[in-house]
Amino acid sequence: MTLLRLICAFYFCIVNAANGTIDEGKYSDPNEVYCYQDPNMMLRYNGTVRLFRTSSTWSPLRALCLKSKYICKNGTSYFRTAEYFTPTKVNGKWSMKGCSNLDNLNEAETEAKCTTPRHEGFRSAYNPFSGGGYVCVRNLFMLIFQLLVKRKNFTLQITPLLERTSQSHIIVKGFEQMPNLPSVFPKPLLGEEHKYPVLFADTRCLIIGHYGLVGTSFCMLFVTDEALRHPLRHCNFMLLSLCGTPAYNAYTYEHQHYRICNESDGHRA
């Protein structure tokens, strides 16, 4: 009886080993999803990266035409620029210079006004400031500069935090650009670091986002210049599915409505 038990146990082990060999690779690794959140793939891109889309709560008043260029890598950190435009504040309020005397009419009234001989060369444009409405301006480029838009240029130190069994993050610290010093040795501007979770990353797009207590998320989709010419369906799908709809079309909207974005890229709209 003892010998029979030993023989049965032996065959049982052989069968289990065979089944284990057959099942090897049958299922994905439980942590495989984190392999698709490596921000290094985008951070080392040596061209221009654009803010393409964000959650709908984003406002161009925060950063208009946001883009980033590669500087260098030092250790595990990447140094990239952060370039954008923002309106200035006067006495704690957004500057309304150039808008205080503009008539905020409805669209039909403004179209009629802009077609008069006196306004030859003007066009109707939506005025997002001073209560909204439409205004008659020569072009939006003039309107933006009348709002005292300032160009911002910082250096970002971005350090990836990769986890094999949990979501990856990036640590971002901003520095002021100093004209007499190399960009990698700037004067600190932001006193604290900011940590952002990475939702997805590959060689052409990066999605970062914060999850709120109620399950909502604020997300930002960054893409390479090449991706602008070949829209990335998978990146857009993941942004909309992970972060909700509607999304703010930062790049396309701002380059269509703010000529300053095209001017900053060295070409006209």
The helix (H) or strand (E) run that includes residue 204 is: none
**Region 3-29 average pLDDT:** 58
Residue 115 has what pLDDT? 58
- How many whole angstroms separate alpha carbon 104 and alpha carbon 110? 8
Residue 95 has what pLDDT? 39
Residue 139 has what pLDDT? 53
Domains of the chain: 32-88+148-264 (2.40.128.20), 96-138 (no CATH)
**Conformational region of residue 133, where left means phi above 0, alpha means psi within -120 to 50, and beta covers everything else:** left
From first CA to last CA, the distance across the chain in angstroms is: 90
- How many whole angstroms separate alpha carbon 158 and alpha carbon 173? 7
What average pLDDT does the structure give for the chain? Answer: 72
- How many whole angstroms separate alpha carbon 96 and alpha carbon 146? 8
pLDDT at position 89 over 70: no
- Strand ranges (E), the chain: 48-55, 64-74, 77-87, 89-90, 93-94, 123-126, 134-137, 149-161, 169-176, 187-188, 194-201, 205-211, 217-224, 247-248
- How many whole angstroms separate alpha carbon 114 and alpha carbon 99? 17
**Region 180-185 average pLDDT:** 45
φ, ψ of residue 148 in degrees (nearest 5): 55, 45
Bridge partners for 93 per DSSP? 90
**Region 145-174 average pLDDT:** 83
* Length in residues, the chain: 269
pLDDT at position 221 over 80: yes
The pLDDT tens digits for 92-134 are 444 333 333 344 445 555 555 555 555 555 555 545 443 445 5
The pLDDT tens digits for 40-76 are 999 999 999 999 999 888 877 778 899 999 999 999 9
* 179 burial level (CB within 10 Å; 0-12, 13-18, 19+): exposed
The predicted model scores a pTM of 0.68
Are the C-beta atoms of 69 and 56 separated by less than 8 Å?
no
Residue with structure tokens 């986002």? 209
φ, ψ of residue 197 in degrees (nearest 5): -70, 145
- High-pLDDT (> 90) share of the chain, %: 28
